[in-house]
Chains A and B, each alone.
Chain A
Amino acid sequence: MMTKVLIAEDEPLMRERLLAMLATSWPQAQVVLVAENGNDAWDGFLEHEPEVAFLDIRMPGLSGLEVAERIGKLAHIVFVTAYDQYAVDAFDAGAVDYLLKPVEADRLARAVGRIREKLSARPADLSDIVRHLKSALPGARRENMKWI
């Protein structure tokens, strides 16, 4: 049985890479949408109702965290991030998985294994973790520019 997957990532090469790697490590995944920004990701989620969403945290429009907040318990979420110690700590504590960019094949395979185990269960409630992350990540907060 195929699993519907959504990918949201703003950099074209990173998008391609994740797509190509996913095809290798998870042939049963059916990528229903590759979104270039948070807004498209959320619209696409409503349209396609995927079971798994790979979300970049820093994206134009809605951030990955904001999309995750809206998705709530409707899908399993894997965050994709370049690096953030706060995020890593939080993910370690939570039920959700994360991938560090550039994504490595064996790490992706492990994440896929974990997702497949959980697919039968209900998606985790991420609201607490997302709230924590949104306060911990300065880049994810909307603020007026103060640089001058």
Chain B
Amino acid sequence: MWRAIVNWYREWDAEQLRVLAEPGYAPHTPPGYRRAMATRLARLSDIEREQLREFALKYRGWRMIGAIATFAAMFTLAGAMFHLAVPSIRWVAAIGALNVIGFSTVLAVTTVWFNYRRRSDCSPQRSRGMMLVVIGVSLALVGFLIKFQHLTLNEAFFDTFPGGMLIGAAGAAIFAGIPLRLIVAMRNRQHEARTLQLQQGAERDRLARELSESQLRLLRAQIEPHFLFNTLGAVQQLAEKDAPRAAELTASLITFLRASLSEMRSDQATLKKEFALVEAYLNVMKARLGERLRFTLDLPESLAGLAVPSMIVLTLAENAIKHGIEPSLRGGDVAVRARRRDGVVSIEVEDSGIGLGIAPGVGLGLDNARNRLLLAHGAAASVTLHEAANGVVAEIIIPTETAT
């Protein structure tokens, strides 16, 4: 018999812990009270379930019994002191009353502690109404008791068991009812803070991931064979027949690598730095492609200090080369310019390559650039790509109120 009870308890305990860990398990529990209980647990919020699970794991088996025994001992001791303070109340009534008060308080606190969301989900009116009822009932009970005690002062009503229970109920109502509302309020605040913390953590993680992704992509772009090996091949050839030009190309490559490494470490860069990076890149490509590439850069001094997501203009320039100029038989021009117009800053990369329609390959990297632009400057910022008179224009728009 005892063994059967222990087994039942263990099984139920394990089942509840599993539901707390994975709420999807609830419908697989045996029907009846066990499923009803599991369903209730599964309906708790993630944070509540996590806390309840921690609590359940901490107070399992003997530790739970130990905790109950400790509470019982404390309440019994308090009851004994109560009897000594008010000798007219008998031992058994005092101890019984204190235990009833104590355990109902513990029970109520525990229930509310892990169920506060449901309680706080009540409408404010209803919640205020319940509070008033609790206060009213408590006051009425106290008044009733005082009056009753006065009337029956010598009849030792409180020595009787029902009398003790009455004190217990009144105590529970006063000492539990009102503080419980406070606990609910406190727990709700905790919950909100924790939710906010989790959200912020998730957002931070996302941003960090995004950043490391763009860093990774950049790293890949630098060690991309078609860029690095072809450039080194060009350096090698120049070194043999035209040493000064080899030195020049090496210098451009160094400038490009150094600038991109420095930009990679920060999320934002000034347009001045960004244009310097793009210039170094285009110089390298010019040395390799020769007559097939011509380019111009135009950055007004007033916009040099504008902060933009790092590498964003470079991404557009790389796309222009890769998808516009390189696949084009006759090559083309690349024009990079920044200007202020209609209350926005516009940064354009225009190429007169093969246009949008027949570009081979699928470009990457721009989604990432766009996300970072939106994060930094809001929904009014944009990256667009459109066909122009003689090629393709990629345009970054930054609203001036967020442009610093």
User: Interface of A with B (CB < 8 Å)?
Assistant: 10-14, 16-17, 20, 37, 39, 58, 60-61, 63, 82-84, 100-103, 138-148
- Neighbour of B225 across the interface among A14, A84, A142, A143, CB < 8 A: A84
**Contacts of B357 on A, CB cut-off 8 Å?**
144
9 tightest Cβ-Cβ pairs between the two chains A and B: A102-B233, A83-B225, A147-B363, A17-B237, A82-B225, A13-B234, A148-B385, A12-B290, A13-B237
Binary flags per residue of B212-255, CB closer than 8 Å to A gives 1, else 0 = 00000000000001100110111011101100000000000000
A10 pairs with B326, CB closer than 8 A: yes
**B202 sits at the interface (CB 8 A):** no
**Contacts of B329 on A, CB cut-off 8 Å?**
37, 39, 60-61
**B151 sits at the interface (CB 8 A):** no
**Contacts of B289 on A, CB cut-off 8 Å?**
10-12
23 inter-chain pairs at a CB distance below 8 angstroms, sorted by A residue, are A10-B289, A10-B326, A11-B288, A11-B290, A12-B291, A13-B233, A13-B287, A14-B230, A14-B288, A58-B326, A82-B225, A83-B225, A102-B232, A140-B360, A141-B360, A142-B358, A143-B360, A145-B362, A146-B363, A147-B319, A147-B364, A147-B385, A148-B384
- Neighbour of A101 across the interface among B229, B367, B385, CB < 8 A: B229
**Contacts of B364 on A, CB cut-off 8 Å?**
147
Q: Beyond A143-B361, A147-B319: 8 further Cβ-contacts under 8 Å? A: A11-B289, A13-B290, A82-B229, A138-B362, A143-B359, A145-B323, A147-B364, A148-B366
**Contacts of A145 on B, CB cut-off 8 Å?**
323, 356, 359, 361-363, 385
- Neighbour of B230 across the interface among A63, A101, A139, A146, CB < 8 A: A101
A139 pairs with B225, CB closer than 8 A: no
Q: How far does the Cβ of B85 sit from chain A's closest Cβ, in whole Å? A: 81
**Contacts of A147 on B, CB cut-off 8 Å?**
319, 323, 362-367, 385
Q: How far does the Cβ of A102 sit from chain B's closest Cβ, in whole Å? A: 3
**Contacts of B229 on A, CB cut-off 8 Å?**
82-83, 100-102
